[in-house]
């Protein structure tokens, strides 16, 4: 099974987040392409943003999975958005992916396998994390401080969100990690020695029937996180019948988490 092909879920209340990469969605003025406005930050040059309906005092940076684009998740963020929060959904660069026979596709870093012991693209993971940190810095320069920025992502995007937050010196508002894992897990907790996020809240969600990244892998990640950050700040939720996708119950939990960690000010 190719990893980019997110399995459609026909079970109760579940839906797929697979999107055609070339799809572009614009809903009035709330969903906008950031093309040309942020050339100093490469990932912002073509990112999709879901704007707030009032003064934006917080931001969620949400990263898609392998082979996807930011457009589909921007649609999802629109459905759960809060009026004072801006949602930024960048697109991963197109690179050859070892796991998919070196096919070129949107990917935050190279993937060699999906097991805990698979070789990892250390240089690519670290480079991708720095690119996400550049977005955080950009938001801070434009009036939204790091402690009002939350990272999130699905699958490979969730993995990158976790790694970025745990190696970020700035204090962040939290992380939403959906159907994912912690990259370079053997380097922790040492890799987080200078992090400002040891007390950071993390919402980790996983489908119990995920055939690509088994829920056991998610549980192992949750246990690893407990020795890196305050274990009382970690919430790990699983969803019966859910495969490598998302469902309304999960997205309701995501919205509740964002509301709690990024309240109006």
Instruction: Give tens-digit pLDDT for 225-235.
Output: 999 999 999 99
70 or 191: whose pLDDT is higher?
Answer: 70
Q: Is residue 57's pLDDT more than 70? A: yes
Catalytic residue list contains 155:
yes
- Residue 4: the pLDDT is 35
Catalytic residue among 69, 107, 155, 195: 155
The band of 10, judged by pLDDT with boundaries at 50, 70 and 90, is: very low
The SS3 of residue 99 is helix
- DSSP letter for 171, please: -
> Would you list the domain boundaries of the chain?
31-261
| Token pair belonging to 172 | 């962040």
Closest CA to 156 of 233, 75, 97: 97
Mean pLDDT calculated for residue range 64-79: 96
Instruction: Give tens-digit pLDDT for 116-141.
Output: 889 999 999 999 999 999 999 999 99
CATH T-level assignment (fold) for domain 31-261: Rossmann fold (3.40.50)
Please, which residues bridge with residue 207 across strands? Answer: 239
Instruction: Please give the model's pTM, rounded to 2 decimal places.
Output: 0.87
| Residues 105, 66 contacting (CB under 8 angstroms) | yes
| Residues 127, 163 contacting (CB under 8 angstroms) | no
Catalytic residue among 69, 185, 244, 246: 244
* CA 161, chain centre distance (Å): 5
Catalytic residue list contains 244:
yes
Catalytic residue list contains 110:
no
The SS3 of residue 33 is strand
Whole-angstrom distance, CA of residue 119 vs CA of residue 59: 33
């Amino acid at each position: 099974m190719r990893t980019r092909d997110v399995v459609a879920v026909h079970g109760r209340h579940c839906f797929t987040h697979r999107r055609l990469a070339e799809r572009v969605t614009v809903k009035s003025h709330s969903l906008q392409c950031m093309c040309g406005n942020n050339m100093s930050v490469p990932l912002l040059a073509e990112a999709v943003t879901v704007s707030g309906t009032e003064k934006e005092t917080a931001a969620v940076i949400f990263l898609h999975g392998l082979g996807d684009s930011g457009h589909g998740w921007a649609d999802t963020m629109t459905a759960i958005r809060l009026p004072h929060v801006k949602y930024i959904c960048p697109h991963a660069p197109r690179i050859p992916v070892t796991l998919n026979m070196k096919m070129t596709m949107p990917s935050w870093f190279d993937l060699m396998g999906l097991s805990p012991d698979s070789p990892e693209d250390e240089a690519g993971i670290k480079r991708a994390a720095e690119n996400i940190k550049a977005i955080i810095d950009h938001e801070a320069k434009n009036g939204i401080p790091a402690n009002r920025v939350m990272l999130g992502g699905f699958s490979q995007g969730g993995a990158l969100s976790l790694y970025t937050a745990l190696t970020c010196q700035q204090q962040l508002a939290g992380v939403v990690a959906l159907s994912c894992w912690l990259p370079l897990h053997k380097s922790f907790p040492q890799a987080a020695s200078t992090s400002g996020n040891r007390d950071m809240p993390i919402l980790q969600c996983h489908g119990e029937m995920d055939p690509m990244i088994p829920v056991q892998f998610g549980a192992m990640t949750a246990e690893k996180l407990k020795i890196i950050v305050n274990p009382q700040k970690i919430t790990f939720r699983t969803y019966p019948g859910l495969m490598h996708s998302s469902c309304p119950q999960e997205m309701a939990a995501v919205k509740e988490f964002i509301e709690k960690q990024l309240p109006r000010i």
